[in-house]
Structure 1
Amino acid sequence: MHERLAALADPARWRIVELLAERPRAVGVVASLTGLRQPQATKHLQTLERAGLVVARRFGQRRIYALQVDAVQSVIAELMRVAAIAHENRANRETYDQYASQVDAEVLAADRDRWADEREYVFRRTLTASRDTVWRHLTLPELVPEWWATDGLRLSHIEFSTRPGDRLVQLYTGDDVGEGADSVIGRAEGVVESVTPAERLAFRLSPVLPDGSTAFNGHYTYSLTEAGENTELEVRLRISDSTVPSAEFIAGVQLGWDQCLDKLAAAVAVSTSRNTTTMNTITSKETDD
């Protein structure tokens, strides 16, 4: 298939395919219709023949080439297969375009230091889990990687605690195998500021630029309130000390946190379902006994 695609990529050979789609033609005719010298036309036809896209037979003094329709249809089918995959995953492309558009806007706005200071973002979710379950997913280092990474990234290292003054560290790598498991492409550092267990957590977390400086300071607050069997989560982020290079980071705040909180919602829902199943199993065994 790769050989066929490569053969069709040349404009001259593509024109030859178009001509042979109309009827089988001799080398000299192909050369005349394409404006190629006959040796050039012959070379292109031989490339197409090796790729299985055309077949040649000699009739008398002439060598006639004909298009292999099945081979062309196989190329079309392969392209349609790839297009179908892209269509199925079109949300990823839409996210790509959305982020690119936001980056362009923020880069234009970042014309000086502190350009985004005091900007505030607020995110809210109703989570199908208890406050304790949500709190654990927000704060336990073994659970945080389940949700705190945007699409395409993996939280490969996390230092997180609920003791005021403790250091926070995040390291991100790409989630595609080919990017290298140890290739750090994002780092953030901060500190825990205040804690009310299962209710409120305030911390500062700052993305680190390639030169080791801080892109901006992010002041975060998690607030949890009970809502029957569910939990209302509010995440607030206030930006300070923004630098010009922070534009690409800030461009991804809205999109990134929307993705992360959707993952958090899914993670706590699975945890709640698992706990419910376990409790039902225990209750059933006790009843049987």
Structure 2
Amino acid sequence: MDPALFAALAEPNRMRIVELLHAAPRPVGEIAAALELRQPQTTKHLQALERAGLVRMEPLGQRRIYALRRESLRALRDWLTEFEEEHPSESVLTQYRAAIDAPVAESVYTFTRELAAPVETVWEWWTSAELARQWWHPAHFEVADCVLEPAAGGVLSMALREGDGTEYRSAGCFLEVVPPQRLLFQLAPVGRDGVALFAAEHRVELTGFAGGTRVDLRIRVTDLVPGSEPAVAGIPFGWNQVLDNLVRALGE
């Protein structure tokens, strides 16, 4: 879409001229009278609209009649139609904002997914750093760094990078590892001082069924520190997106 079109319409008098010409073609004098402007001023506005492709001038003898070029307006209409449907992330932002404004001292979140892969394969995607990099991130992020040591006491850390290069780090450890059925681990975001913003215990249960695996994830959040509200509020939205990534990855 040509920016000149928007620049032309941004001037109130030019917008009014478009409205007048929508009703019917008009000569310069009639337009000037309707706008209560001098004719030279009106002519300049009409010339700007003409350059933007919004109006055309028809010389009829000594009269100059202006009319709309409706194809330009139709193109604008079609372009604006592309913006009618909301992006899914917009509703997530609204819900996220509401969650930040209503913080709680302790929360439990549960998630369930069914994956088209055997338990052993799903287990590998949860316990391999190389595979985790492909799915363990919410929308608009990528995994910048990942350490997975799937044994009791083993390190679990994650760095997520946003589109502008900003990184967010989470750190924790594995508490219990029962292959290929259960993982219990601590993982929480850390501030710039390296201190966890809260405690978050994650319990992952894998249950096989004919044709796939059911994943049950339970997250218990406690010990919030001041300023942790945005990170806590983002847990349900982020993990839903992360698990959806895993579903897509194993469905291919």
Aligning the two structures, in what range does the TM-score lie when normalised by the shorter sequence?
0.7 to 0.9
Name the count of aligned residue pairs: 251
Unaligned runs of 5+ in 2: none
Partner of 2:120: 132
How far has the Cα of 1:237 moved from its partner? 0.9
How far has the Cα of 1:16 moved from its partner? 0.7
Partner of 1:103: 100
Partner of 1:193: 175
Aligned mates of 2:172, 2:38 — CA distance in 1: 69
Aligned mates of 1:103, 1:251 — CA distance in 2: 5
Aligned mates of 1:14, 1:205 — CA distance in 2: 56
Identity across the alignment (%): 36
Partner of 1:116: 105
Over the aligned positions, Cα root-mean-square deviation in angstroms equals 2.4
What's the TM-score once normalised by structure 2's chain length?
Answer: 0.87
Aligned mates of 1:64, 1:78 — CA distance in 2: 29
Query: Cα distance 1:35–1:213, how it changes in 2: closer, same or farther (>3 A)?
Result: farther
Residue from 137, 154, 164 that aligns with 1:166: 154
Partner of 1:247: 229
Aligned mates of 1:196, 1:188 — CA distance in 2: 23
How far has the Cα of 1:62 moved from its partner? 4.6
How far has the Cα of 1:211 moved from its partner? 5.7
Task: Indicate conservation of the 8 Å contact 1:171/1:184, yes or no.
Answer: no
Matching of residue 26 in structure 1 with residue 20 in structure 2: no
Unaligned runs of 5+ in 1: 110-114, 271-289
How far has the Cα of 1:25 moved from its partner? 2.2
Matching of residue 93 in structure 1 with residue 81 in structure 2: no
Aligned mates of 1:229, 1:20 — CA distance in 2: 65
How far has the Cα of 1:257 moved from its partner? 1.7
How far has the Cα of 1:65 moved from its partner? 2.2
Residue from 193, 198, 202 that aligns with 1:216: 198
How far has the Cα of 1:228 moved from its partner? 4.1
Matching of residue 234 in structure 1 with residue 223 in structure 2: no
Query: Cα distance 1:185–1:12, how it changes in 2: closer, same or farther (>3 A)?
Result: farther
Which stretch shows the higher mean deviation, 122-131 or 245-254? Answer: 122-131
Partner of 2:247: 265
Aligned mates of 1:130, 1:32 — CA distance in 2: 78
How far has the Cα of 1:189 moved from its partner? 1.5
3-state SS of paired residue (1:138) = helix
Q: By percentage of residues, which structure has more helix?
A: 1
Partner of 1:74: 75
